[in-house]
Amino acid sequence: MNQTVDPDVKDMLEGICYNYIGPVLCVFGVLGNIINLVVLTRQQLVESPYIYLKALAVTDMSALLFSFPFLVVSRTATTFPLKWYNAYIFLPVVNFFTASSIWITVVMTIDRFIFVKFPIWARWRCSRFSAQVRVWIILVATVMISVPRLFCYNIVPISVENGNVTVTDLHGYRLKPTGFRMSDYYQAMNIALIILIHFLPLIILCVININLIIAVQQARIAREELNLRNNMETEWQKDQRRFTITLISIVLLAIVSIFPAAICDLMVEMKFGLRYSKLMQIISNLLMWLNLSMNFIMYCAFNKKFVRVLKDVMGKSIYRFRYSLKSVRGDQSEMTTI
């Protein structure tokens, strides 16, 4: 017997995820990524891996910034400006930033794998300049593949049936799929993009992350066999090992968020299991926002160098605040004396 998900349950889940959890994740993620950018622009974090992390912070924060108005206002609105925002800003722009975020993570993971397996050869290949070039290539490529999203929907007035007469409500608008969106060409293109943006990165991240976990485990065993204590390792070696562990955690979270999105998008395009597609879309969107929001937590949990720089930045900020506060009080006391 076929069982379907209760519509009331889907509506309740949609309301909870989109009205409460989603906006909270967006606000938390934007604040976290702002802190990431402040810390990652410090002079202590200039190595090539941190170029990727800075780019990742920008793309993640941007995707969350453009998602927040959709969740809070425009998702259920029927006014023309907000529907225009959904069709021509939210859909293409958020797709661009999420695709960029995924591929920046993929390229960063490949670079780290090369560094772990071939450290001497990777010294000159994995430079800051090469990291910047790869980031810009990713951004340009994802812009190009996001352009077709601009032609998916038209904004039309809401029409209702009143007997045999169709009445147009000029005070409300909806999004109507264009002929291009409904064409076989778009379906074929979208399936190719699903493979490029979801399935291919998923396979690469799974394979490389397994190898990175094995490499970290082997290095730990080797250090124990050689009785190599932490104080005998150089600070650079410690930082490299911690960055690898940080990256593993980032990739694991990315895999968890990409897999449901890949399955959901494929189900919709192939018109397979459509009765579950809305539920899958809610879950995949929630996991994607979670992925975009959690990097600050990962850095604090696994990267001591990031935490050291964060404490240094916070300490200087607190000192400046106290100094400015004392200056204001001093000026006020002088004015009182005069």
- Greater confidence (131 vs 337) lies with 131
The percentage of the chain sitting over the pLDDT mark of 90, rounded to a whole number, equals 35
For the residues of 104-125, what is the DSSP string, one character each?
HHHHHHHHHHHHHH-HHHHHHH
Token pair recorded at residue 82:
């907000």
The residue behind tokens 């150089």 is 234
The residue behind tokens 């937590």 is 297
- Look at residue 262 and tell me whether its pLDDT is greater than 50: yes
* Longest pairwise C-alpha distance within the chain: 88
Q: What is the pLDDT of residues 216-244, one digit of tens each?
A: 888 777 666 666 555 545 666 677 778 88
Contacts 24+ apart (CB under 8 A), 296-301: 296/32, 296/33, 296/35, 296/36, 297/32, 298/246, 298/249, 298/250, 298/253, 299/36, 299/39, 299/53, 299/246, 301/249
User: Phi, psi at residue 47, to the nearest 5°?
Assistant: -65, 160
Superfamily of domain 7-159+181-319: Rhodopsin 7-helix transmembrane proteins (1.20.1070.10)
- Greater confidence (204 vs 268) lies with 204
Most confident of 152-156, 170-174, 302-306: 152-156
pLDDT at 242: 80
- Look at residue 279 and tell me whether its pLDDT is greater than 50: yes
How many other β-carbons are positioned within 10 Å of the β-carbon of residue 126? 21
pLDDT at 1: 41
pLDDT at 160: 61
| Global confidence as pTM | 0.85
Kindly tell me the sign of the dihedral angle through the C-alpha atoms of 130, 140, 293, 208.
negative
- Greater confidence (217 vs 67) lies with 67
Residues with Cβ within 8 Å of 20's Cβ and at least 6 positions away in sequence, in order, are none
SS3 228: coil
